[in-house]
Chains A and B, each alone.
Chain A
């Protein structure tokens, strides 16, 4: 019988500290067993339970794109006991993964249209997955605009890739930080403000992912710009344990974030008062 509670084994290949404080690290994991690798098929926006045997599990969005073969990428902020343990990992260590769990960004639906990606802080993980996926299938999509903000330049993740993306002429990248610092040449201000300045076309699809407060204030901006509720998508977070719709702790209204989500359109969320 299929057992959704059993983790598969993964090997830590590479660890990259995303900020000078090393509170944010990105882990590249490879599959220990070929069978697991062949069966693991995912889409941008899905998540996994990262299992540290003896400490427990925590859910993280998959930061790699399905187009990046044989590797799964997770960016982890050191916060609680499980993430602390994850931060102690060294290349070569074996960890557990359960997934892929949940639904994904409707990248099929986005085909042929413009897409605007709005992200904040270290919630850029699954947005990176989607962006890499779309760039890999570049001709399927129209204009791609990225608005990405963090409190300060250090807290922007995937810095090397941001530089690469900034050079591309088929992608509009708008980076912003809360308050200006020396040497910073991009936008300054909160994500909702910059979104208003950039004023993406309301016929685009919008994907918003970040801290709840950012989503709360970005939504009215998008609505003011003329975006319909069913054109805006977001990814929600809850303290998911089982990830397969049983344990009950990720409920928002009648939905479970782990199965019905984590990706929702605002059309679906507007009648769920608990969502933000």
Chain B
């Protein structure tokens, strides 16, 4: 393991800024979000995840697909430096890896170029993620339900632990290891540093509440489609969509044209399955016309459909949706509600 002394961190970031576009948590009022930085002084890593996830580094809330005018369409193909993400927490690192499964290709036809999202790949494929350990998890954190933890390094390129202001670095992926070898400001970590890291890990893990066993969740969800439990669980949701926008793994979007007089741009914008208009058809027919159906869709997509298609839950337990929900809709309670639900009688699927 390597180490960067407190007073050398700015120099390290400075080195990165030469070769990379560096994205890091930056204070934006009382909250922090990932932004492109030009000066290490802007960074505000804190002890836990940023209020907004780094999802929008690769998948911005609004992204121009192309510009058009009467002569046709034009895509911008300006070359950018590779992206380096600094201060990402493990829930978000894993989220980004999940999103790559969707945008990187299509599981139905992994080799078909048409299904590879060029806007995502251009940014993602050459990126490096510096995953920071969480030293003070929040009460809403539940990454341990999904096998994660504050010191989980799965998915990282470089894993970082902050101890007394110094940074201990560990290359996890080949890409991360290669990058660390090139750095000039690092020194070998000592035994003492590793002990400090170990103590911090123990302390952080103790702060996490006991995880609920969700090994049965996928199977259970496959059996409860027609159960009344959905009405009960969904009753207080107001379909505002805040959970989907703040979620690091939600990735649905709308495509819209902005412009006038034959000139403009086609953009994609975050969208949410919580909104009635999401599935509304021009005829007025809406296959998911009521709130319960929409809540069910979101839960099923996260904990059943995604598992079927990609082998994991589409949730990393970051808990942001719990924090932002205006009606205290707690996804953990929903999961427990499903797991605890007893099916009274077998109900036929309504094909």
| Cβ contact within 8 Å between A54 and B259 | yes
CB distance from A49 to the nearest CB of B (A): 9
Pick from B114, B259, B260, B300 the residue with the most CB of A within 10 Å.
B114
Closest to A239 in B: B281
| Cβ contact within 8 Å between B253 and A55 | no
Segment 240-272 of B: residues with Cβ below 8 Å from A: 251-257, 259-260, 262, 264, 266, 268, 271
A180 at interface (Cβ–Cβ under 8 A)?
A: no
Given known A-B contacts A239-B279, A246-B251, A55 and B121 have beta carbons under 8 A apart: no
The answer, among A2, A53, A259, for a CB contact under 8 Å with B257, is: A53
**Which A residues are in CB contact (< 8 Å) with B262?**
53-54
The answer, among B72, B109, B225, B283, for a CB contact under 8 Å with A9, is: B72
| Cβ contact within 8 Å between B118 and A3 | yes
Distance in angstroms between the alpha carbons of A274 and B75 in the assembled complex = 37
B113 at interface (Cβ–Cβ under 8 A)?
A: yes
| Cβ contact within 8 Å between B116 and A238 | no
B145 at interface (Cβ–Cβ under 8 A)?
A: no
Closest to A84 in B: B282
The answer, among B72, B115, B282, for a CB contact under 8 Å with A83, is: B282
Distance in angstroms between the alpha carbons of A274 and B304 in the assembled complex = 14
| Cβ contact within 8 Å between B254 and A5 | no
Distance in angstroms between the alpha carbons of A9 and B69 in the assembled complex = 13
Closest to A216 in B: B351
Given known A-B contacts A2-B114, A248-B273, A273 and B252 have beta carbons under 8 A apart: no
Distance in angstroms between the alpha carbons of A249 and B271 in the assembled complex = 9
| Cβ contact within 8 Å between B287 and A274 | yes
Distance in angstroms between the alpha carbons of A9 and B73 in the assembled complex = 9
Distance in angstroms between the alpha carbons of A244 and B350 in the assembled complex = 29
CB distance from A137 to the nearest CB of B (A): 26
CB distance from B192 to the nearest CB of A (A): 48
| Cβ contact within 8 Å between B114 and A241 | no
A6 at interface (Cβ–Cβ under 8 A)?
A: yes
The answer, among B102, B108, B285, B351, for a CB contact under 8 Å with A260, is: B108
CB distance from B251 to the nearest CB of A (A): 7
Closest to B306 in A: A254
**Which B residues are in CB contact (< 8 Å) with A259?**
106, 108-109, 115
A4 at interface (Cβ–Cβ under 8 A)?
A: yes
| Cβ contact within 8 Å between A6 and B66 | yes
The answer, among B108, B255, B308, for a CB contact under 8 Å with A242, is: B255
| Cβ contact within 8 Å between B260 and A5 | no
| Cβ contact within 8 Å between B75 and A273 | no
| Cβ contact within 8 Å between A244 and B297 | no
| Cβ contact within 8 Å between B118 and A249 | no
**Which B residues are in CB contact (< 8 Å) with A53?**
68, 73, 257, 262, 264, 266
**Which B residues are in CB contact (< 8 Å) with A247?**
252-255, 268, 271
The answer, among B68, B75, B300, for a CB contact under 8 Å with A3, is: B75
Closest to A213 in B: B285
Distance in angstroms between the alpha carbons of A79 and B262 in the assembled complex = 22
Closest to A83 in B: B282
Segment 1-38 of A: residues with Cβ below 8 Å from B: 1-7, 9
CB distance from A111 to the nearest CB of B (A): 24
**Which B residues are in CB contact (< 8 Å) with A271?**
349, 351
| Cβ contact within 8 Å between B122 and A1 | yes
**Which A residues are in CB contact (< 8 Å) with B68?**
53-54
B58 at interface (Cβ–Cβ under 8 A)?
A: no
CB distance from A220 to the nearest CB of B (A): 10
B330 at interface (Cβ–Cβ under 8 A)?
A: no
CB distance from B342 to the nearest CB of A (A): 20
Distance in angstroms between the alpha carbons of A239 and B252 in the assembled complex = 13
Given known A-B contacts A5-B66, A83-B282, A251 and B305 have beta carbons under 8 A apart: yes
Closest to B107 in A: A245
Closest to B117 in A: A246
Distance in angstroms between the alpha carbons of A53 and B68 in the assembled complex = 7
| Cβ contact within 8 Å between B122 and A273 | no
A183 at interface (Cβ–Cβ under 8 A)?
A: no
B280 at interface (Cβ–Cβ under 8 A)?
A: yes
Closest to A57 in B: B255
The list of the 6 closest CB pairs from A to B, nearest first, reads A80-B282, A248-B252, A2-B113, A254-B305, A79-B282, A254-B308
| 8 residue pairs from A and B, CB less than 8 Å apart | A6-B73, A239-B282, A241-B254, A242-B255, A242-B268, A244-B106, A253-B300, A259-B109
